[in-house]
Amino acid sequence: MVKLDLGCGPNKIEGFTGVDQIAFPNVDVVMDLRATPWPWENGEVEEVYSSHFVEHLSGEERVPFFNELHRVLKVSGQARIITPHWAHERAYGDPTHKWPPVTVWTYLYLVRSWRETNAPHTAYTCDFDYVAVGAFDPNDVWVAFRNAEQKAVVMSRNTNTTTDLIVTLTKRA
């Protein structure tokens, strides 16, 4: 069973194969994830984790990234992608983050049925289901004790409240 931690840096998740373009300690595969094809077979990968990597790809570079992710994942395989939330300053503070910021709309383009109707001009070939949630600063008393419905509204309407966008992609057949 292959599990990949893409763009892991020096902090690879235990039990995963760490992939990064820099040979940090704990990186198992040194490669540029913008290069395709990736060295894994179709459907070979069970699970993917990627924290604070995708925002370092430009909008155009994300297309082959998500297409390759879809190719290597097994059907029903999952990928957890964590990026800074677009409405938090942390999305803009790192000069190596690329435009556009990652938003929930980014993931709509990964759903074939939505894309065929709304964005047939894109080069995506993947097909994922997704669930998006936000991470909030636990020390922010203004939001910490709100219920899930209130947090969903806050996530879409307030700045500097949602720190991260956490999306779970599931590969469709």
Q: Rounded to two decimals, what is the model's pTM?
A: 0.94
| pLDDT for position 133 | 92
When pLDDT is cut at 50, 70 and 90, the band that residue 137 belongs to is confident
Torsion angle, alpha carbons of 118, 131, 89, 109, to 10: -20
Q: Domain residues for 79?
A: 2-171
Give me the number of domains the chain comprises.
Answer: 1
Residue 9 to residue 23: CA distance in whole angstroms: 8
Residue 39 to residue 167: CA distance in whole angstroms: 24
Residue 122 sits in a domain of what CATH number?
3.40.50.150
State percent of the chain over pLDDT 70. Answer: 100
